[in-house]
Amino acid sequence: MAHLDAYNRPISYLRISVTDRCNLRCIYCMPPQGVTKRSHAEILRYEEIETVVRAAATLGITKVRLTGGEPLVRPGIVDLVRMLARVEGIDDLAMTTNAILLNDYAKGLAQAGLRRVNISLDTLRPERFERITRCGKLEEALAGMEAARQAGLEPIKINTVVIREMNDDEVVDLARQTLEPGWHVRFIELMPIGNSMAVEGNWRERVVTAREIQEQIEATLGALEPAKVLPGGGPARYYRLPGAKGTLGFITPISDHFCHQCNRLRLTADGHLRPCLLSEYEIDLRTPLREGADVEHIKTLILQAIERKPMQHHLDECQIPTGRVMSEIGG
């Protein structure tokens, strides 16, 4: 049974940043020069991550997502998937990736026990992809997506961060992909976090709300129908265009925050447990792990994090967490 936090929310989901490194530099996630990389010694070892997941599983965490940074740039990632897939109690093991390396890894990940992938893709235009990611090739991401499909890492969800005057003119084109070839696309409101363009100047001007996106889509493609939540659907609200195979989701951390139903904890790449993405409070697990803490000891620290999970974020009061970038925390 999932453990309840102080606001009666069952905590059943752990997101793990396995590395702060990345092969892209998305404008809303990182500064142009990238972030100062943590040394290998600072990053949790796979055995340490496994201990945390074992402890979490005994507290009723059933779902784990590997993220980062880009999880596929960490050497041996398939081994980590194999280790975590064997942990009793974890029945949903997924990954969020930019897909650039999925062509090489999809099959191995599926064989090791990964269930599904979410793929971040903000545009269907090659030059724009290169501009937003500061270096990426769209064709590589699309090849990665196809490899994931062939490996059965489904349902694949596409995550699109919508930014005003950057890619907001593409929401209709992206929505069309739910008709053919039948993608599941989720639009995410830009969040002010880390040291990126997402916190510069008046960030609110760059946020395109789910409502605006929905209006644009409906004006061209017709009314959306409510759809069932996808497996591992998280905080998105799901819809479907009439007759579409794929779904459209909206994730609204800014215009309609979903803190009251938040069920997650995050483990940073350097081993700190963070009960809320948008609050700087963290508990250090790395020090006790390196001092020999066992599953029982780590369990007590996870319980502390659950008990200290804040009721909601405070962006409205301009409390913007800038201490860490998204890639370290695990977006």
Letters for 85-104 (x = contact with ligand SF4 by CB under 6 A, - = none) are -------------x------
In whole angstroms, how close is the CB of 101 to ligand SF4 at the nearest point? 11
Q: Is 168 exposed, middle or buried (0-12, 13-18, 19+ CB in 10 A)?
A: middle
Measured CA to CA, the distance from residue 320 to residue 313 in angstroms comes to 9
The answer to whether the CB of 89 falls within 8 A of the CB of 62 is yes
Q: Does residue 73 touch ligand SF4 according to CB under 6 A?
A: no
The answer to whether 250 and 278 have CB atoms below 8 angstroms apart is: no
> Quick one: what does residue 216 bind among ligand SF4, ligand SAM, none, with the CB cut-off 5 to 8 Å set by partner type?
none
What is d(CA 246, CA 263) in angstroms, rounded to the nearest whole number? 25
Q: Which does 66 bind (CB under 5 to 8 A by kind): ligand SAM, ligand SF4, none?
A: none
Q: Does 25 bind ligand SF4 (CB under 6 A)?
A: yes
Q: Out of 12, 51, 103, 120, point to the residue binding ligand SAM (CB under 6 A).
A: 120
Name the one range near ligand SAM by CB under 6 A: 31-39, 66-74, 257-265, 301-309: 66-74
Residues within window 150-179 making contact with ligand SAM, judged by CB under 6 A:
159, 161
Do 119 and 80 touch, CB atoms closer than 8 A?
no
25 binds, among ligand SAM, ligand SF4, none (CB under 5 to 8 A by kind): ligand SF4
Indicate the residue type of 68. G
Give the max Cα distance, the chain: 59
Q: Which is nearer to ligand SAM, 161 or 305 (CB)?
A: 161
Q: How many residues does the chain have?
A: 331
- Of residues 191, 205, 208, the one with CA closest to residue 326: 191
Our CB check for ligand SAM shows the closer of 128 and 297 to be 128
Query: Which residue from 131, 90, 99, 140 is spatially nearest to 117, judged by alpha carbons?
Result: 99
Q: Does 19 bind ligand SAM (CB under 6 A)?
A: no
Interaction of residue 250 with ligand SAM, rule CB under 6 A: no
Within 297-326, the residues that bind ligand SF4 by CB under 6 A are 326
Position 211: which residue type?
R
Q: Which is nearer to ligand SAM, 102 or 298 (CB)?
A: 102
The Cα–Cα gap between 163 and 273 comes to 29
By CB under 6 A, residue 114 contacts ligand SF4: no
Write out the residues near ligand SF4 by the rule CB under 6 A. 22, 24-26, 29-30, 68-70, 98, 120, 326-327
